[in-house]
Amino acid sequence: PRPIILTRHGQSQDNVRERVGGDSVLSEAGEVYSKKLAKFLEKRLKSEKTASIWTSTLQRSILTANPIVGFPKIQWRALDEINTGVCDGMTYEEIKRNMPEESILREKDKLRYRYLRGESYLDIIQRLEPVIIELERQQAPVVVMSHQAVLRALYAYFADKPLKEIPFLEVPLHTIIEIQMGVSGVEEKRYKL
């Protein structure tokens, strides 16, 4: 069985400021994570002949992969974070204050709520389809370095979680989720670095 390793990018400057969207670089803690992650993967993948690192096209994801050497890296736009449209760069507080109706709509149906000129969780699930097809085709381990909303959807697919739980799944920062597809189903390990 080959592992699929999922992780969010290291903490970004926008994570610290609690802003959604954006394309910020890593915070100091995020940089520390990127280095720890590289060490972890070096050990974890030592016995593997090949492996590949898939990132999004956003800086925080690419920078998290930076310290990892010796494996091919591929950027996927389909792994970019949920597009928050007109809310890009705002905090949840600001969204609540400036667009209370939008906040309420999202609270009522987080799965289907589509940000104005942006995306919903359902949109993400749809755009992940080619990524999933390619992941299933791979013979070697793949490390997917993406974002919270996207990894919730990806994780749900492999862990067989119901659609309605997707927007609420726990995918914390600085945590590695390793999924193994074996004969007896899916096995999961989590490592907090």
160 φψ region: left (φ > 0), alpha (ψ -120 to 50), beta (else)? left
Three-state helix/strand/coil letters over 49-85:
CCCEEEECCCHHHHHHHCCCCCCCEEECHHHCCCCCH
State in angstroms the smallest separation of the CB of 120 from ligand G3H.
10
Give the residue, chosen from 4, 5, 20, 125, that forms a contact with ligand G3H under the rule CB under 6 A. Answer: 20
Residues 121-150 that bind ligand G3H (CB under 6 A): 147-149
Is the CB of 60 or the CB of 147 nearer to ligand G3H? Answer: 147
State in angstroms the smallest separation of the CB of 107 from ligand G3H.
11
Phi, psi of 8, deg, nearest 5:
-75, 160
How far is residue 188's CA from residue 170's CA, in Å, rounded to a whole number? 14
Is the CB of 107 or the CB of 187 nearer to ligand G3H? Answer: 107
147 a catalytic residue: yes
Give residue 154's identity as a one-letter amino acid code: L
Structure tokens at 120: 């919903």
8 a catalytic residue: yes
* Catalytic residue selected from 19, 44, 147, 174: 147
Is the CB of 110 or the CB of 180 nearer to ligand G3H? Answer: 110
- Our finding on whether 60 is near ligand G3H (CB under 6 A) is no
